[in-house]
Amino acid sequence: MATYIALLNWTDQGIKSVKDTVERAESVEGLAQKMGARMSAIYWTVGPYDLVAVLDAPDDETAHAFLLQVGATGNVRSTGMRAYNGEEMRGLLSKLG
């Protein structure tokens, strides 16, 4: 599976119901499983982003669909990034001229 990092910020709706954030995160973990993905971590952060999540998904399309579905709830906006571990990065580097 590929790894993706999601940087998330609460919307006005999301911050109004911030007391439910842990329960919402658990629900999102269930959504990931239904889509054939897995949330391997979620962190609540202080700074420019309110949450950081790590998602393992079989492909870019699944990861993107997952983030769109989470965004459709209206509680967060996300920025998603594909992440590479050391082994994957070695493979990428081996393709350089």
Give pLDDT tens digits for 39-60.
999 999 999 999 999 999 999 9
Is 1 in contact with 38 (CB distance < 8 Å)? Answer: yes
Q: What is the mean pLDDT of the chain?
A: 96
Residue 10 neighbours by CB under 8 Å, 6+ apart: 18, 50, 51, 75, 76
Predicted TM-score of the model (pTM)? 0.91
Give pLDDT, residue 41. Answer: 97
Instruction: Report the pLDDT averaged over residues 64-75.
Output: 97
Percent of the chain beyond pLDDT 70? 100
For residue 97, what pLDDT band results from cuts at 50, 70 and 90?
confident
Instruction: Give me the domains of the chain, ranges plus CATH numbers.
Output: 2-84 (3.30.70.920)
